[in-house]
Amino acid sequence: MIPFFYSSPTLPLLLLNLDTFQFDPDRYLNGEKIDQQVVAFGIGKRACLGEALARAELYLIIGNFLLRYGLSADPCHMPSMSEKSQLGIVRKTTPYHIVFSHIQ
């Protein structure tokens, strides 16, 4: 049998004799910082079936919370009106503090 290497990428990485049924955390640790991006409900065929229910529950919880509590700016930490945002691919806003107060 002659393998068809024309369609394979140049200098492929070949992993031989790895036990695929045994968990080895060293496979995933290469000394670099771990990427912290998370896709909460998954994507594609393996997406979470309860995503619609979870989003509806969050909508109700946050809506009921905002009916019971008011939001206002913290008078001790008022944001400055000068533009100090960091520029990049996405503009990063300056942080500000808010106060939750119970509505009577």
pLDDT, tens only, 49-65: 899 999 999 999 999 99
* 99 domain residue, yes or no: yes
* Domain extent at residue 52: 46-76+91-104
For the chain, how many structural domains are there in total?
Answer: 1
Instruction: Residue 8: count other Cβ atoms within 10 Å of its Cβ.
Output: 9
* 3 domain residue, yes or no: no
CA separation for the pair 57, 48 (Å, rounded):
15
CA separation for the pair 34, 76 (Å, rounded):
37
pLDDT, tens only, 86-104: 666 766 777 788 898 998 8
* 34 domain residue, yes or no: no
* 70 domain residue, yes or no: yes
The token pair at 4 is 């068809």
Residue 51 near residue 41 (C-beta atoms within 8 A) = yes
* 56 domain residue, yes or no: yes
Please check if 48 is assigned to a binding site. yes
